[in-house]
Amino acid sequence: MTDAKKTSRSTKPTDAAAEGFTDEERSAMKARAKEVRAASRGGSAADKAAAAEAEVVAKIAEMPEEDRALAEKVHSLVKTVTPELAPRLWYGMPAYAKDGKVLCFFKPASKFKARYATLGFSDVAGLDDGVMWPTEFALTGLGPAVEERIATLLKTAAH
């Protein structure tokens, strides 16, 4: 019997695998891993909620001016219209959870070098309308009509 040859395998990703995600996507994944670790730490629910909101406010403050203005208004609308939603970070983005599950999130244009920011809703949101409905809405500016539309979406999604 002869000894079987060992094949050397590298665990280092190939160039093709490394190029599978953009720098922005890798950054979002790292942010999510950090969020999961932080959520598993001890502490009271009130302390965790306060820390989570502080992280959201800090993340909004870091955004470029155009994204920041939109995110601040969205944050204010969520807090006013659906105070039962809990602010938290989700993939490094401001998000709002219901019963521990992300219901909606603000994706700044700068995060993925996009043309516009979006307000997105997860499958937890009650926005179902027939067999097809939007789950993300482009935001390029805010005014009374847009704010009213967002308020309506938030109320519908949260209930």
Instruction: Report H helices in 19-143.
Output: 23-39, 45-62, 65-81
User: CA nearest 103: which of 69, 40, 151, 154?
Assistant: 154
Per-residue model confidence (pLDDT) at position 10: 46
Q: How confident is the model at residue 120 (pLDDT cuts 50, 70, 90)?
A: very high
Q: Is the distance from CB of 112 to CB of 31 less than 8 angstroms?
A: no
| Phi, psi (degrees; rounded to nearest 5) at 97 | -110, 150
What does the pLDDT look like over 21-37, one tens digit per residue?
999 888 888 888 887 77
Q: Which helix (H) or strand (E) holds 104?
A: strand 101-107
User: CA nearest 147: which of 68, 155, 56, 89?
Assistant: 155
What does the pLDDT look like over 48-106, one tens digit per residue?
899 999 999 999 999 999 999 999 999 999 999 999 999 999 999 999 999 999 999 99
